[in-house]
Amino acid sequence: MERYLLLTLLVLLIACSELLFAGELGVIGKTYQIEEEDLVVVMQRKIMEKQKSGELEKEMMAFKDRSEKLIRRPLGIKMNRAKEYKIKSITILYKLSEDISDASGKILYKAGTEVNPLKIKKLSKALCFFDGDDQKQVEWVNKTCAENKLNKLIMTSGDFLDLSNKYQRRFYFDQRGALVARLGIESLPAVVRQQGEMLYVEEFPIN
């Protein structure tokens, strides 16, 4: 019985909630205006405190050190050295998400059309992937791929600044192995070239 009365009272309170909250409740005790400190002022004060304690300088030095390390040795991946020669072909197709029109508004390609980018823009150079921490791979790629200055020498790991200064040439870096993953490269060194409307990936064993 007591439980029934409690449930009935709860239903009545919910039903009358609009009336309850709309009424004038009056003032209960002394009221104070809520004041929030400006966020910019808070930040400035914290910076000043860190500056006085020397903590700010330590944080800046740590940030600089991390940045220099990332520039020298970006985030790469470690891959196995090729044990045998392999070659495979890759067909690149890109499905358009929207219509492609020319300057006059004429639709050239409709949304959903699969386009081979190699038909539009040819890959005029070879992409040479290698491990910058493996001296034999470094020597191989500089001997094999560096003859043609159009070729791109792409590191998957290693000291980027050290190799650039040592060989006095421009290297590239495949951060986190994004390119080797998309191209399906399994071992290094590897060379990617275009032939016709397809890409060919070659993996070379080296002594």
Cα 96 to the center of its chain, rounded Å: 22
DSSP sequence for 91-139: ---EE-SS-EE-TTS-EEE-TT-EE-HHHHS---S-EEEEETT-HHHHH
Residues 199 and 137 in one domain: yes
In a domain, 16, yes or no: no
pLDDT for 52 equals: 78
Token pair for 23: 């009424």
Given this model, what pLDDT does residue 147 score? 84
Tell me, yes or no, whether 68 and 131 share the same domain: no
Overall pTM surpassing 0.75 (yes/no): no
Q: Domain containing 126: what range? A: 86-91+122-203
CA distances from 195 to 89, 119, 165, 180, 201 (A): 9, 11, 33, 19, 11
Residue 129 domain-assigned? yes
Per-residue pLDDT for the chain (207 aa), expressed as one digit of tens each?
544 444 444 444 444 444 444 444 455 555 555 556 677 777 778 778 877 787 767 777 766 656 666 677 888 999 999 999 999 999 888 888 998 888 898 998 889 988 888 888 889 899 999 999 999 999 999 999 988 889 999 999 999 999 999 999 899 999 999 999 999 999 999 999 999 999 999 999 998
Give the domain CATH number at 165: 3.40.30.10
Query: What is the CB neighbour count within 10 angstroms for residue 130?
Result: 31
Is 44 inside a domain boundary?
A: yes
In a domain, 50, yes or no: yes
Q: Within 13 A of 205's CA, how many CA atoms are on the CB side?
A: 5
Q: What is the pLDDT of residue 37?
A: 65
Number of domains the chain is built from: 2
